[in-house]
Amino acid sequence: MLKILIKNKFYFIILLISLGLVRSGFAQQSKLSKSVNYLSEYIASDYFKGLSKTNSDLDLVDSIYLRAVKFNCGDVSEALFDLTFAVIPYNNVPIKIPLIGVVVNFHLVCATDSIYNAKNKNLPKNLFGDTPKDDFGDKDKLAHFFGSAFLSYSQNIFDLTDLIGYFVEYFEEAFEVQSSVDLRDIKADHLGKLFGEKLKREKNALPSVILRNKTLN
């Protein structure tokens, strides 16, 4: 059995989706790649960079979300799913093979290197009242937010978010955690879940409604 070095449970969920355990099929993967490329190019564009000069970072998050919804012809579930990958500021997950101890990098769906790097540079970072005052800020929280929103919005009979949480707990001993769980990540996950729930009631809801005036500490 593979042992996975992950920062926290969220990235395990991302790995599950990537491996097709949550969604499967080459057609879906191809569509996802096209959407991730499209959204990455949008965030990396001079147009988006120009928007950052006259709009807040939360406004920029709304802009990215609306682009994803439009690209998916109004399908909110698909938009949230695609955004989860498009805004991840990393492009691989380290996987450790037991016994021999070799670590290989599992490549996540992402754009070409030049677009990927420009996208990461332009990602909104000032999302919360207590966002770190550095160049990276809270860029990594966007994937947490949209990933949890996707799970929350797309659930049917049962709570898919909790189901995956239980799955991870059950197999917890099989996984090596690279670092302790970040409580800020957990709170970002929770806000994403709230956004998914809100979208069920209000189809035109925007991420900024949930993120505005929030802190993670």
pLDDT digits (tens, 9 = 90+) for 23-39: 444 555 588 889 999 99
Q: How many other CB atoms are found less than 10 A from the CB of residue 98?
A: 11
Residue 217 resides in a domain: no
- Confidence at 1, pLDDT banded by 50, 70, 90: very low
Residue 216 resides in a domain: no
Query: Which are the contacts of 41, defined by CB distance < 8 A and separation ≥ 6?
Result: 111, 115, 119
Alpha helix positions (H), the chain: 9-19, 26-44, 46-51, 57-71, 76-86, 113-122, 141-154, 160-170, 183-201, 207-211
- Confidence at 181, pLDDT banded by 50, 70, 90: low
What percentage of the chain exceeds 70 in pLDDT?
A: 65
Tokens of 98: 């037991």
Residue 51 resides in a domain: yes
Which residue, among 160, 142, 151, 163, has the nearest Cα to 216 in the 3D structure? 142
Residue 64 resides in a domain: yes
Residue 50 resides in a domain: yes
Q: Which of the 8 DSSP states describes residue 182?
A: P
Which comes out higher in pLDDT, residue 22 or 124?
124
Task: Reply yes or no on whether the pLDDT at 192 is more than 90.
Answer: yes
Residue 49 resides in a domain: yes
Residue 108 resides in a domain: yes
CA atoms 133, 195, 28, 11: torsion sign: positive
Residue 173 structural domain: 3-211
- Confidence at 205, pLDDT banded by 50, 70, 90: very high
Which pTM does this prediction carry?
0.78
Residue 128 resides in a domain: yes
Q: ∠ CA(158), CA(162), CA(165), 5° rounding?
A: 140
pLDDT digits (tens, 9 = 90+) for 91-145: 766 666 556 666 666 666 667 778 989 999 999 999 999 999 999 999 999 988 9
Count of structural domains, the chain: 1
Which residue, among 93, 67, 91, 92, has the nearest Cα to 80 in the 3D structure? 67
Task: Tell me the range of 7-16, 18-27, 87-96, 176-185 where mean pLDDT is highest.
Answer: 87-96
